[in-house]
Amino acid sequence: MSNETEQPEHRFAAKARELQAQNAALEVVLLPAKDRPDLDVLVRPPTRTEWRKSMVMLDDPKTRNDANAWLVAQCVLWPEPRGAEFLALAERWPAWVDKISGQLAKLVGTDIEISARKL
């Protein structure tokens, strides 16, 4: 008998499998919200083009305020980013979208540390 306790399957596990069955190359990532499972989301990493566009949007004063929300809308897989559940959560927790955007940034390498040294 094993001493390990089996963790229950996450409520989005079946949806993640369904998405991956539709597209085997799709990288599905769970972003769990600490102590707030109602704020968990499934995402995919941004493409290079999406990342670059979001950076351009951040640099433009006219689009700066929408850059994070735009990137999140491109990359959130579940709950549906234009669906009622997601929109209600985003309305109730406006900073939540920025937190998701920050995690998307990590998925494309913003937390990679690089240093220079002479050879």
What does DSSP assign to residue 19? H
What is the per-residue pLDDT for 8?
84
The secondary element (H helix, E strand) that includes residue 76 is strand 76-78
* Domain spans in the chain, listed from the N-terminal domain onward: 34-107
**pLDDT (tens digit per residue) in 12-58:** 999 999 999 999 999 999 999 999 999 999 999 999 999 999 999 99
pLDDT confidence band for 4 (50 / 70 / 90)? low
pLDDT confidence band for 80 (50 / 70 / 90)? very high
Q: What angle do CA 117, 118, 119 make, to 5 degrees?
A: 115
Residue 1 has pLDDT above 80, yes or no: no
Specify the CATH number of the domain 34-107.
3.30.2220.10
